[in-house]
Chains A and B, each alone.
Chain A
Amino acid sequence: MTRPVWMEPPRPSTKAAKAVAVTITVALVIIPFWVVVATSLSPDLQVIRNGGWSIWPEQVTLDAYRRLFGSGVISHAVLVSAVVTIVGTAVSLTATVLMAYALARPNVFGGKPIMLGVLLTFLFPPAIIPSFLVVSNLDLRNHYAALIAPVLISSFNLVIMRGYFQGLPAQLSESARIDGAGDGRVLWHVVLPLSKAIIAVVGFYYAVGYWNSFFNAMLYLDDQSTWPLQPMLRQIVMLGANPDTSIAAGAGASVAPQTTTMATVVVAVLPILAVYPLVQRFFTKGVLTGAIKG
């Protein structure tokens, strides 16, 4: 976007103020990440001397990561998180696509009351105790399905996906239908190839949701050793638990070394940072199809 002719050229002071504001905003986001990564890679001694953090490792070391994965506790938690995230995202995405496609077709039997039922959930979001009772009654407690089933479909994701499907040019699916394709084929060969953007965005929302959730594990899994990464991270960072008890015995302290704590944070953020750039360009499209057009 270049400056339109009617706009007065900005004064140097305005330009400078803008540059400062933008720099500060960006710095506020980046600096915390930087400190965490740098600390996790620094030698313990430097971090202790510096009062618990560092902005530049005097010498890059992976000791913290070795300790972290050496204990087995965190490796297990990462594995649990990864499996729940992958399975959960696949199941949620499938259920959402199928339901959104069916609801996007006109005249489907029961379509209107079902859609109304979905929309009403915006006004009555599920509360903690009723959800807990349902999960208990289905005997899902202490089972990993309890981390997926209660959040299987997000009404928001369903509504934006349905909106996207409705916005696709009808002629394409019509011509497929005239050629004899049924709903299954139309969905698979016509609609899905046109919907990569929305599938990427909604899939990312689900994956982030599963990867980041910590409360459902606390609520439904009684045995801490079966927990995924995020609730474990809470134990380590906020409650000062040590993932590696052997270190505690050796150092005479039960608190995890700062470098280990920071390494745990890095491990928890890394998958999101890795996938984020791939889906980032679809965000505006994904959010806005559902949000503005409804």
Chain B
Amino acid sequence: MAVTLADRRTDDPPTSAAGSARRRGGRRQRLRRSRLLLLMMAPGVLYFLVFHYVALLGNVIVFQDYLPFAGIANSPWVGLDNFRTLFADPDFWQAAVNTVSLATLQLIFYFPVPVVLALLLHSLTRGWVRKAVQSIVYLPHFISWVIVVALFQQLLGAAGVLNGLFADNGYHLVNVFSEPSLFKPLMIAELIWKDCGWGTIIVLAALHNVDDQLYEASAIDGAGWGRRLWHVTLPSLRPVLVLLLILRLGDILSVGFDQVLLQRDGFSPGVAEVLDTYTYYHGVVNGSWGPAALAGIFKGLVGLVLIVVANKVAHRLGEEGVYR
């Protein structure tokens, strides 16, 4: 998703003298000429204003002892009390640590999988086999987290298939869904099952765009399969991989909110609480609105800093990055 801020004017009307003269004619004229287009945009603009920009104003409750029945207007202002409460809460720091460690593990263990899978798919020479496999591996991306977690529970939970097999052969029962040390591996396994197939789409397109002459030339020079991979394929993938990495970083502190929320109850919150679930349970559920909203802002800011820094680093390394 390389988003360029510059408008590409492929749809420009032919530049006749009259046309450009009219376009130069003041804001009011442009406004009138755009009436219909503005009407078309109106619902969307209203949506973005209300649910993205006005919503940001709701964050003022971090300075309030917010009371839902009183509303923002009538809740008492408490200065920086919420900051003190939040930063003194060991649960918050635990959630922050869990978020960062889960995010890091996801990055290390999930990120390479779609690339490897894409290389495998790309190497399939029979077209119909590749298409069939692609259709199958894309599918889990569209299955809801509720169902993905349900499937994993049925296979790995206390009464699941795996434990049935273990018990039949005289092994101990393991409940993967409450064993704290297995929480993170479980999260990553589920993520890989759900999204690694879909993740191959962009990588496959990049592989498709590699100039075949590069392969041919290197093969003639005697480069084998491994050397072609290292010296042709991977360098060609670099821009796309950097792009994917930055996008992933921006979203990384969300660490799959739906996914964690669904499984948090089986584990102790100490293990399975992340910043988003902390915000939800402390704020919406337990009514500690101010500190919870602050935790939400904290998460958003760290995510923002990560994406900006990653983009800077990408530029230093001579890559396009996500934006300029």
- A residues bordering B, Cβ < 8 Å? 1-4, 6-8, 18, 21-22, 25-26, 28-30, 32-33, 35-36, 50-53, 95-96, 98-99, 101-112, 114-119, 121-134, 136-138, 149-150, 152-153, 156, 158-160, 166-168, 170, 173-174, 177, 182-184, 187, 208, 211-215, 219, 230-231, 233-234, 237-239, 261-262, 265, 268-269, 272-273, 276-277, 280, 283-284, 287-288, 290-294
Contact = CB atoms under 8 A, between A and B. Distances in A.
A131 B47 contact: no
A26 B43 CA distance: 43
Interface stretch (B86-94, B100-108, B288-296): B288-296
Contacts of B265: 238-239
A21 to B, nearest CB: 6
Contacts of B307: 123
15 contacts: A95-B44, A108-B41, A109-B38, A112-B7, A116-B5, A118-B48, A128-B280, A132-B284, A134-B58, A182-B36, A261-B150, A262-B154, A284-B201, A291-B2, A293-B2
Contact of A98 (B34, B44, B323): B44
Interface in B134-188: 135-140, 142-147, 149-151, 153-155, 159-161, 164, 167
A119 B68 contact: no
Nearest to A98: B40
A20 to B, nearest CB: 11
Mostly, the B contact residues are helix
B150 A95 contact: no
A53 B154 contact: yes
A159 B41 contact: no
B146 A214 contact: yes
A64 B296 CA distance: 42
A2 B125 CA distance: 6
B139 A276 contact: yes
A261 B202 CA distance: 36
B144 A128 contact: no
Nearest to A204: B142
B151 A36 contact: yes
A108 B38 contact: yes
Contacts of B296: 127-130
Contacts of B51: 126, 131, 134, 149-150, 152
B3 A294 contact: yes
A138 B9 CA distance: 38
Given A127-B279, A268-B147, A292 B2 contact: yes
A35 B154 contact: yes
B219 A117 contact: no
Nearest to B2: A294
B297 interface: yes
Contacts of A177: 13
B229 interface: no
Mostly, the A contact residues are helix
Contacts of A138: 50
Interface residues of B, number: 111
Interface in B278-324: 279-280, 283-284, 289, 292-293, 296-297, 299-300, 304, 307, 323
Contacts of B140: 29
B154 A105 contact: no
A121 B155 contact: no
B84 to A, nearest CB: 19
A133 B61 contact: yes
Interface in B19-38: 23, 27, 30-31, 33-34, 36-38
Contacts of B56: 124, 130
Contact of B135 (A132, A238, A280): A280
A219 B284 CA distance: 8
A268 B1 contact: no
Contact of B138 (A109, A117, A283): A283
A248 B57 CA distance: 48
B38 A28 contact: no
Contacts of A106: 7, 9, 11-12
A103 B216 CA distance: 43
Contacts of A153: 44, 47-48
Contacts of B124: 18, 22
Contacts of B109: none
B215 interface: yes
Nearest to A97: B40
A35 B143 contact: no
